[in-house]
């Protein structure tokens, strides 16, 4: 066990996590998930580190239901704006639109009556095409297995068209190696599966092609935002829509993109910048904490209590 992990465990069993959780009671915590995998696949080299295992997710939802007040994201944003936030409010979100959110996550959310928002990269929901970040991971996995050089491509610094130009030729050669297990774990949901998901799910937009907006031209960025928002509204019959910026750091979107979201009357938008949201927070720059396979029970509780950033900073400086 590392020194840092020992610190998280000490916090959990000493009661410090519980005390810290009380300090955060007047703010909104938003958690960000991506996919969920069966427990037996949690150590598979091709499974993204930004997934969580099914048993891990169940333990985390049990903790949220026992210690916090889970809210729908739209309701939480409204309460944040009006100053009526519940004590220890938390909203659960998923990015991209993986089928496993519904097949593995849905029954767990129903067990604990926890709502969740799934941000859909709508073009992938329509086409069924795997997300570029997963295609890249699989290509690298196969190349390493072949003892060859692994693909070196930074999707955060490319437009979607440029990324496709790099990935498509390699993917066309290697896609036949995709197993049924890998496809089942990594594929996006279809619109039919979205429409038949548990009523605990609500849906937001996440661009059309999972575009890092700061890497797109003005026209392309507008289309990515507007078409995804319009598609979610049209297909799901709901005008109240939220949005998640792909990749989502402060470098990955601009004031130009925020202006488009305001023009479209989007209720609120979430980043991947960690932190708590307090009354008066900018509804189009909401903070979220990413939850991954690396979150043991103690690490997760420290994250939720706001203590993980404190320990990380203390270890860094």
pLDDT tens for each residue of 143-190: 999 988 888 999 999 999 999 999 999 999 999 999 999 999 999 999
Q: Considering only CA atoms, which of 282, 221, 273, 232 is closest in space to residue 250?
A: 273
pLDDT tens readout for residues 261-309: 999 999 999 999 999 999 999 999 999 999 999 999 999 999 998 876 6
Average pLDDT, the chain: 92
132-145 vs 160-174: helix crossing angle, rounded to 10: 40
> Phi and psi at residue 45, in whole multiples of 5°?
-65, -20
- Give the pLDDT mean for 72-76: 97
Sequence ranges of the domains in the chain? 3-316
* 108 close to 88: Cβ distance less than 8 angstroms: no
Residues 6+ apart with CB under 8 A from 239: 233, 265
Correct CATH for 3-316 of 3.20.20.370, 3.40.50.11540, 3.30.565.10, 3.40.50.300 = 3.20.20.370
Pairing verdict, β 52-53 and 36-37: parallel
Q: Count the Cβ atoms, other than its own, within 10 Å of residue 243.
A: 25
What is the distance, to the nearest Å, from the Cα of residue 223 to the centroid of all Cα atoms in its chain?
A: 22
Residues 6+ apart with CB under 8 A from 111: 58, 61
Helix (H, G, I), strand (E, B) or coil at 270: strand
Structure-token match 């992990």, residue found: 5
Asked whether the predicted pLDDT for residue 14 surpasses 90, the reply is: no
Structure-token match 């690298």, residue found: 140
pLDDT at 245: 98
Asked whether the predicted pLDDT for residue 8 surpasses 90, the reply is: no
Report in angstroms the alpha-carbon separations of 258 from 31, 118, 164, 266, 288.
21, 20, 26, 10, 17
């Amino acid at each position: 066990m590392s020194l840092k992990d020992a610190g998280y465990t000490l916090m959990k069993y000493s009661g410090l996590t519980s005390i810290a959780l009380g300090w955060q009671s007047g703010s909104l915590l938003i958690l960000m998930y991506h996919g969920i995998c069966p427990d037996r696949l949690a150590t598979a080299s091709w499974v993204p580190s930004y997934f969580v295992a099914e048993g891990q997710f169940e333990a985390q939802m049990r903790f949220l239901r026992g210690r916090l007040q889970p809210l729908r994201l739209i309701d939480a944003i409204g309460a944040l704006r009006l100053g009526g936030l519940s004590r220890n409010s938390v909203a659960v979100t998923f990015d991209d639109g993986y089928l496993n959110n519904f097949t593995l996550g849905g029954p767990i959310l129903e067990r604990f009556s926890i709502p969740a928002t799934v941000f859909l990269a709508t073009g992938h929901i329509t086409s069924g095409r795997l997300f570029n970040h997963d295609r890249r991971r699989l290509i690298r996995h196969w190349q390493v297995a072949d003892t060859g050089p692994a693909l070196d491509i930074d999707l955060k610094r490319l437009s979607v068209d440029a990324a496709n130009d790099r990935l498509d030729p390699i993917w066309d050669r290697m896609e036949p190696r995709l197993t049924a297990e890998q496809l089942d774990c990594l594929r996006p949901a279809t619109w039919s599966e979205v429409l038949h998901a548990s009523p605990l799910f609500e849906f937001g937009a996440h661009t059309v092609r999972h575009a890092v907006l700061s890497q797109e031209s003005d026209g392309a960025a507008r289309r990515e935002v507007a078409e995804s928002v319009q598609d979610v509204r049209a297909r799901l019959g709901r005008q109240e829509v939220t949005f998640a910026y792909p990749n989502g750091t402060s470098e990955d979107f601009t004031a130009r993109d925020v202006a488009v979201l305001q023009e479209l009357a989007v209720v609120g938008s979430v980043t991947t910048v960690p932190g708590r949201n307090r009354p008066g927070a900018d509804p189009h720059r909401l903070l979220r904490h990413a939850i991954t396979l690396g979150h043991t029970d103690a690490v997760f509780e420290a994250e939720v209590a706001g203590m993980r950033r404190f320990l990380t900073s203390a270890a860094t400086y």
